[in-house]
Amino acid sequence: MRVALIAPLPPEQNGIADYAGHLRNALQALDVEVVTPLQGVGNDPRQARQRIADSNWQGIDLVHAEIGGGRLAEFRALQALRERFAQLPLTATVHDPERLVWRLEKLPWPLSLAEHLPSPVPQAATLLADPLCLREERQLARSMTRLVTLTRAGSQSLRQRMGLHEQQMVVINHGNLAIEPQPLPPLQPLRLLYFGFIYRGKGIEDLLDALASLFVSQPALRAKVRLTLAGGSEPEMAFASKGSYLEELRLRIRQLGLSDLIDWQLDLPGDQIAPLIQAHHLMVLPYRESSKLRLLGELRGTSGALSWAVACGRGVITSDARSFAEEVSHGNGTIYPQGDVQALSKALAQVCSAPQLAAQWAASAAQLGQARQWQHTAERFRDMFRQACGQR
């Protein structure tokens, strides 16, 4: 089988590129030939369409895409392929259901005049143009042979919003690297880890506030808890028009009196991620859903960081954003209402008073990680590809 993979790929630094790279390697290990016609294009829709026009599609059995993160290049590439090849099997993993891309490449005139005006005028224009975006998304989604989501909640929301048939939908959980299990470190101090790209909207402030609240109510815990903030901090995410987010976090840490309890591990090489996670007892993911996105729909994706926790055999405390509740329904952690700092503080207090919880969550995570290794995940994709090709 010869498959064209339409996706961002390493060295691009985002979670979908990492996912696509692991999927490509796992498929090739199963003797599936994978070609990457868009490699090097980045998120440039115009170049993506041109690459589709210039590439040789003879001998391609199926095209699979990775869609999400607000990227338009893969979306436009799929549109161009469907226009050119009405019968070619097209499949895609949708990382951010209930929508495919959530935004138009360009606002139509006269709404485009609002793009350079002060906020909230551009946001209002985006909302007014959203029916046009939704129409494009539905048109492409309904023409796809199969659409993959990482959770059942994501599948249900995508199907309902796009108006899809049940036979188009496939759920394949996020794949994990095969990582050698490691025992938990000594239970004191309790080592907490935030891991992921560090930028606004991840709820890191909530985690800092929850820790500070915990130490106010139980001062004795200061000597028994440490937090590591780890992950990617590339300039386009950590710096914006509002200034340096990293410096904002450091200032907040000082103001809360947490400087002596916080460790930083930024921009780790890939081979150091697993040892870092396994040096901690559990991961904390305090994500908040974007208030702007809520005006356009419900985000029901999951998290690459959460899959790392599973792969490394570590439990999680996470908000109920996205589809996280489903992902921690296997006895591998607990959830709290997003944005509720006191609820997060209570969850932290619970595991501090009963650290054996961390051991229980870790054991369940390790079992789940074994079942979700990329080898098994790629087998499910290969089977899905074969079924999709059989419908040609």
Find, among 62, 45, 249, the residue nearest to 148 by Cα: 62
pLDDT at 290: 80
Find, among 155, 159, 127, the residue nearest to 141 by Cα: 159
What does the mean pLDDT of the chain come to? 93
The residue written with tokens 């294009």 in the block is 41
Q: What is the pLDDT averaged over residues 21-25?
A: 97
Do 220 and 157 belong together in one domain? no
Contact criterion met (CB below 8 Å) for 20 and 374: no
Do 169 and 55 belong together in one domain? yes
Condensed to tens digits (0 to 9), the pLDDT of residues 300-311 reads: 999 889 999 999
Cis, bond preceding 110 (omega within 30 deg of 0): yes
pLDDT at 240: 45
Residue 181 lies in a domain: no
pLDDT at 270: 86
Distance CA 108, CA 113 (A): 9
Do 163 and 199 belong together in one domain? no
- Strand-pair partners of 262: 227
Strand order in the sheet with 62-67: 33-35, 2-6, 62-67, 90-94, 146-149, 169-171
Do 160 and 196 belong together in one domain? no
Which residue type sits at 142? R
Find, among 131, 62, 141, 128, the residue nearest to 100 by Cα: 141
Condensed to tens digits (0 to 9), the pLDDT of residues 207-246 reads: 999 999 999 999 999 999 999 999 887 544 434 445 688 9
Residue 21 lies in a domain: yes
Residue 180 lies in a domain: no
Q: What is the DSSP code string of 297-321?
A: -------HHHHHHHHTT-EEEEES-
Q: What is the pLDDT averaged over residues 10-27?
A: 93
Residue 258 lies in a domain: yes
Contact criterion met (CB below 8 Å) for 388 and 145: yes
Do 20 and 38 belong together in one domain? yes
Contact criterion met (CB below 8 Å) for 67 and 101: yes
Do 171 and 150 belong together in one domain? yes
Do 347 and 221 belong together in one domain? yes
Condensed to tens digits (0 to 9), the pLDDT of residues 182-199 reads: 999 998 899 999 999 888
- Strand-pair partners of 149: 171
For the chain, the domain total comes to 2
Do 151 and 210 belong together in one domain? no
Do 362 and 379 belong together in one domain? no
pTM of the model: 0.90
Do 41 and 125 belong together in one domain? yes
Residue 132 lies in a domain: yes
Structure token pair of residue 119: 């906020």
Q: Report the largest interatomic distance among the alpha carbons of the chain, rounded to a whole angstrom.
A: 68
Domain range for 9 is 2-175+373-390
Do 205 and 170 belong together in one domain? no
Residue 84 lies in a domain: yes
Do 385 and 281 belong together in one domain? no
**With helix as H, strand as E and coil as C, how does 187-216 read?**
CCCEEEEEECCCCCCCCHHHHHHHHHHHHH
Neighbours of 389 (CB within 10 A): 16
Residue 183 lies in a domain: no
Residue 130 lies in a domain: yes
Condensed to tens digits (0 to 9), the pLDDT of residues 107-161 reads: 999 999 898 899 889 889 999 999 999 999 999 999 999 999 999 999 999 999 9
CATH of the domain at 252: 3.40.50.2000
Where residue 209 falls (left for φ over 0; alpha for ψ -120 to 50; beta otherwise) is alpha
